[in-house]
Structure 1
Amino acid sequence: MRTPHVVVVMGVAGTGKTTIGPLLAARLGVPYAEGDDFHPQANIDKMTAGVPLDDDDRWPWLDAIGAWAHGRAGLGGVVSSSALKRSYRDRLRAEAPGIVFVHLTGDRKLIEDRMTHRQGHFMPTALLDSQFATLQPLQADERGVAVDVSGSPEEITARAVAALDDLDSPTRSDRAEPSPR
């Protein structure tokens, strides 16, 4: 990427935001912030109990992520956030207008399998259906790219870097299309 953007790595639980985010940050030479660390304990307790968050739960979390992104404006950074709804991304953009989204996408079965095998995370597989039901993919007027999560973390990260570079290309439209599967 030509300029140091703040990149939000987004997607449903299990797409690899926590894995890809730090790898992407390292490739871009910017700091990484784990979006889950911005959740208040009440949100973590709720999700651990298998209860989906509602918008009232999410607003303070999104505001905290947005404040971090705002503080990184012009410096660059990568932060993870599910950012499932357009209104959530709008809220983040209100705090940090220059942010760019990397939407990690993939087959539901692959994502569920990855969630089943990960350890030490509070988000149960039972909430995956609610995540997909809530998901509103990036729209044409939102600055970002969609990146398929099949393959190794290094392959996914390489696709994300290439898509971001392509997004910054002067011959490119405002939004890159999803990577082929």
Structure 2
Amino acid sequence: MGLGNMKVGPKLFLGFGAVLVLTAALGIVAFLQISAMSDQSDIMGKSAELKVEMKTVRQQEKNYIMRVDQASIDNTNAAVAKVKSLATELTGMVETVEDKTAVEEVKTTIPKYDSAFTEVQALTDEKEEQLATVEEDARAIETVITGSSADQATEDKLMINLLIIRRTEKNYCPNNLVLE
């Protein structure tokens, strides 16, 4: 029995069935594509969040350099912990070798950053100690000059030189200039 010998009803039924099967197949393909796009959207969102958090790390690091306070250290460490967490989340989400390599690079860079930031803290502490010593020594020199038996002109010259030294010291603090 060929298609030409069939009545109109069965032909319509077969045609409708074929359209229904094609529509179902199209729906399945669309669902799979939307699911893949949703996964990619989640990955892109986490990547963007990671990027923003890394900028926060840098901002808090700069706050520490300017303020030298414990709050900036805590904020930097909290932001680094968030970066670690986001990188770990991304590890489970990415599928391509290229993406996995990029996430692993981020994860291996974090300990290097931690080490460098710890070194910055140590150097900053050392700088603060040395500046305190310089200030104490300058005050001691000033005391010696004012208590000396030198004539007023000599004492004034010595005080002017001491003030020049102190000005250079004060310029060093905000500008991080190298004293010569």
**TM class, shorter-chain normalised?**
under 0.3
**Which of structures 1 and 2 has the larger relative contact order (alpha carbons within 8 angstroms, sep 6+)?**
1
More strand by share: 1
TM-score (norm 2): 0.23
TM-score, normalisation: structure 1: 0.23
Q: Which has the larger radius of gyration?
A: 2
